[in-house]
Amino acid sequence: MQPLYTATATAIGGRNGSIKSSDGVLDLHLAYPKELGGPGGAATNPEQLFAAGYAACFENALLRVARERGAPIRDSSVTAHVAIGRNKDNFFELAVELEVSVPGRDNSEIEQLTKIAHEEVCPYSRATRGNIEVKLRVA
């Protein structure tokens, strides 16, 4: 791979610490969510950060696929639902559901574009393939 951009962030204190990007743009406190026995509150967690990154990257892939096929999308959103739980061996594992919304467009058309974005374009989808269950849903 020929790197075009490298993001760099440092975590201190694990899930109860903080994260900061090398340029200082990202500078956040972390906390375990209440569902995992933590305090929750006004701090983020790795699953939220992964969901945000995957949603943004996937929507961009979807927009690219639509544009390249001569059917640009003007109004859309992608919501990533990232779940964490234990697998049969009691190890933590992630699962993702990507919910795609394109108002005013035929669902079958959007399902096809979503599938292409997932299988061919989105680097997050390629990175997770075979490692994390990813479900696609057009709303």
Same domain, 91 and 54: yes
Same domain, 56 and 112: yes
Domain boundaries, position 15 = 1-44
Give residue 74's identity as a one-letter amino acid code: R
- What's the domain count of the chain? 2
Q: pLDDT per residue over 24-69, tens digit each?
A: 999 999 999 999 999 999 999 999 999 999 999 999 999 999 999 9
The helix/strand/coil state of 112 is helix
* Mean predicted confidence (pLDDT) in 96-109: 97
Same domain, 98 and 111: yes
Per-residue model confidence (pLDDT) at position 75: 96
Q: What is the DSSP code (8-state) at residue 16?
A: G
CATH number at residue 36: 2.20.25.10
Torsion of CA 83, 52, 3, 66, to 10 degrees: 100
Q: What angle do CA 112, 49, 62 make, to 5 degrees?
A: 20
Continuous H helices in 74-122: 107-116
Per-residue confidence at 118, pLDDT binned at 50, 70, 90?
very high
